[in-house]
Amino acid sequence: MDIIRNINRVWSEYEIPAQVSSDTFDDEGTYKLFHGTRFDHCSYDDDLWKHTSSLTFFTDGAFRYYLASYLIFVVKRKQEFPEILGALRNHLTAPKGDVSRPSYAGRVGKLTLEQKRCVLTVLESAASSDLIESDDAAISSVRTLCM
């Protein structure tokens, strides 16, 4: 799959983040699953779909790094686990459609242009498979960042 190869190529130059989750009492297994693990190893974990809450608990840097795991999982298994696609859409949609909002800009906005293009490709692929609408707010948000 060209999409997966491209995600692996783009993300492979980044290092595993030292801090995975925000300081919290219970990160619902985020630290245990992700700490010290490369993004490409996490994408093959059959239980990744159970860890959509990690998208919330990740530090900004860990979100950007492990986003690749979720993108790969969606490309490979979007028909089986639509909840992963839904969680990604929630986190990739700019609040109130404003990509400059600090919560969004600090996470999604700091992806490189190549990473943003990978994200957009995955979302557009989901739209072409009729899993989401082509005018989905996540697609619009990421497309705006790619301009």
- Quote the domain boundaries for residue 124: 2-13+29-146
User: What pLDDT, on the 0 to 100 scale, is given for residue 46?
Assistant: 67
Q: How far apart are CA 143 and CA 147, in angstroms?
A: 7
Instruction: Please determine, for residue 44, whether its predicted confidence score (pLDDT) is greater than 80.
Output: no
Instruction: Please determine, for residue 108, whether its predicted confidence score (pLDDT) is greater than 90.
Output: yes
The predicted model gives 90-110 an average pLDDT of: 94
User: What pLDDT, on the 0 to 100 scale, is given for residue 25?
Assistant: 67
Give a yes or no: residue 19 inside a domain.
no
The total domain count for the chain is: 1
Instruction: Please determine, for residue 77, whether its predicted confidence score (pLDDT) is greater than 70.
Output: yes
Give a yes or no: residue 24 inside a domain.
no
Give a yes or no: residue 63 inside a domain.
yes
Among candidate residues 96, 104, 76, the one with its CA nearest the CA of residue 137 = 96
Give a yes or no: residue 18 inside a domain.
no
Specify the higher pLDDT residue, 41 or 143: 143
